[in-house]
């Protein structure tokens, strides 16, 4: 990729420091500038900003055009991108830089998905180096949020599934971390968020059962196991694995 994309044509360099611009794609698309939510962006700029938010290193004009206008010819797709960039409202224009070949978000634009991915990776890979804010309610909310729900573009579906897998593992890790710290209510909330996101996922139910056992709530642990066993049998005709059964085996022995 070429280095140093230039500001979108028609904007001054001072408009492109990215300060105070935020793009959110978790739980739905939102765009802020200077702390004020901008709700007047049309569908086209929303899709462009959302796509660029998912490209942390930026991307090419050709890739952007081909992704956003998949049914058009290459020339028509590139022409559509040029037209969109030229017609962007000022707030959206300040969030994007482009040159003849490349396009990306302006330096300094914050993207909630990037921050939440970093959080998830800290929970999974560096639990001893967690920040104080990594285990608060806002962290749980971000990990509980889907990526662009209701958007069915192919490029969204692929990214949404990647985020879903990462956040489910992170929610389970967060539940274990909070449980180890004796924060059982928050730990249960984290595990329940994973269960709600994927009701048939055994490891999420296991995380919740472990929280109940750590807190000494044996009856709740058994009830959760039984509920999952019935759901799994009803939906798929399967039984829980030995790994999950072992969590409550001693409680179920006569």
What is the domain partition of the chain in residue ranges? 13-108, 113-252
Q: How far apart are CA 122 and CA 143, in angstroms?
A: 13
* pLDDT at residue 8, as a whole number: 44
CATH of domain 113-252: 1.25.40.10
Q: Which CATH number fits domain 13-108: 3.90.1150.10, 1.10.3720.10, 1.10.10.10, 3.30.420.40?
A: 1.10.10.10
Number of other CB atoms surrounding residue 21 within 10 Å: 24
* pLDDT at residue 113, as a whole number: 98
| Residue ranges, the chain, pLDDT below 50 | 1-17
List of residues 6+ apart from 71 with CB closer than 8 A: none
Q: Label residue 197 exposed, middle or buried (CB < 10 Å: 0-12, 13-18, 19+).
A: middle
* pLDDT at residue 253, as a whole number: 72
* pLDDT at residue 19, as a whole number: 58
Rounded-to-10 torsion of CA 150, 193, 175, 186 = 120
* pLDDT at residue 16, as a whole number: 42
* pLDDT at residue 5, as a whole number: 47
Tell me the pTM.
0.89
- The yes-or-no answer to whether 13-108 and 113-252 have a common fold is no
């Amino acid at each position: 990729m070429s280095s140093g994309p230039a500001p979108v044509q028609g904007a001054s360099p001072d408009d492109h420091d990215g300060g105070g611009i935020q793009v959110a794609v978790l739980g739905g698309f939102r765009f802020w500038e200077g702390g004020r939510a901008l709700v007047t962006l049309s569908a086209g700029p929303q899709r462009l900003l959302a796509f660029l938010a998912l490209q942390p290193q930026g991307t090419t004009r050709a890739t952007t055009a081909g992704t956003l206008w998949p049914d058009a010819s290459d020339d028509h797709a590139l022409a559509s991108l040029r037209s969109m960039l030229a017609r962007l409202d000022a707030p959206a224009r300040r969030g994007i830089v482009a040159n003849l070949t490349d396009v990306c978000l302006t330096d300094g634009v914050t993207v909630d998905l990037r921050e939440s991915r970093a959080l998830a990776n800290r929970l999974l890979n560096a639990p001893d180096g967690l920040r104080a804010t990594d285990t608060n309610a806002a962290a749980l909310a971000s990990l509980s949020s889907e990526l662009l729900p209701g958007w069915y573009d192919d490029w969204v579906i692929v990214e949404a599934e990647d985020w879903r897998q990462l956040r489910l593992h992170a929610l389970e890790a967060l539940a274990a971390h909070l449980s180890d710290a004796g924060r059982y209510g928050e730990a249960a909330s984290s595990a329940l968020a994973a269960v709600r996101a994927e009701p048939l996922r055994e490891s999420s139910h296991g995380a919740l059962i472990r929280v109940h056992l750590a807190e000494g709530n044996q009856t709740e642990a058994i009830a959760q196991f039984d509920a999952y066993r019935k759901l799994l049998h009803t939906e798929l005709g399967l039984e829980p694995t030995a790994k999950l059964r072992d969590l409550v085996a001693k409680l179920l022995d006569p």
